[in-house]
């Protein structure tokens, strides 16, 4: 579980590094405009934000404390998959425990 947690955290950090690189290389407004003008760019954006909705539902169902759930759900559209990685890395053991099938009788 520790190795998986490290791999997931590394993925989130790689994404953060790529965002920093991109922000210093290109204008987000111009890049977003070009993406929104391309049909596949629109599909990619729909895919991205629909993924946030799917994860938000899972977080809402998983978190017993709804304030914690909201603290992770509300920033998702702005912080994206970096924020998703934080929640998954933080909750990985509990997720694995709750998703593990019950032993057969």
Distance CA 48, CA 9 (A): 19
Establish if 57 belongs to a structural domain.
Answer: yes
Establish if 82 belongs to a structural domain.
Answer: yes
Asked if residues 4 and 92 have their Cβ atoms less than 8 Å apart, the reply is yes
Establish if 73 belongs to a structural domain.
Answer: yes
- pLDDT higher than threshold 80 for residue 32: yes
**pLDDT of res. 28:** 87
DSSP letter at 38 equals: S
**pLDDT of res. 49:** 95
Say how many C-beta atoms besides its own lie within 10 A of residue 83's C-beta: 20
Asked if residues 71 and 79 have their Cβ atoms less than 8 Å apart, the reply is no
Establish if 105 belongs to a structural domain.
Answer: no
Distance CA 65, CA 50 (A): 24
The domain total for the chain is 1
Averaged pLDDT score across all residues of the chain: 93
- pLDDT higher than threshold 90 for residue 56: yes
**Where in the sequence is the domain holding 64, given as residue range(s)?**
2-99
């Amino acid at each position: 579980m520790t190795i998986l947690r490290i791999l997931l955290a590394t993925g989130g950090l790689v994404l953060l590094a790529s965002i920093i690189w991109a922000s210093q290389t290109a204008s987000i407004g111009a890049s977003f405009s070009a993406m929104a003008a391309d049909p596949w760019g629109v599909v990619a954006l729909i895919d991205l934000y629909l993924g946030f909705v799917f994860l938000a539902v899972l977080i809402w169902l998983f978190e017993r404390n709804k304030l914690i759930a909201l603290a992770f759900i509300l920033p998702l559209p702005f912080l994206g998959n970096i924020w998703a990685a934080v929640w998954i890395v933080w909750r990985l053991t509990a997720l694995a425990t709750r998703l593990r099938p019950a032993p057969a009788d």
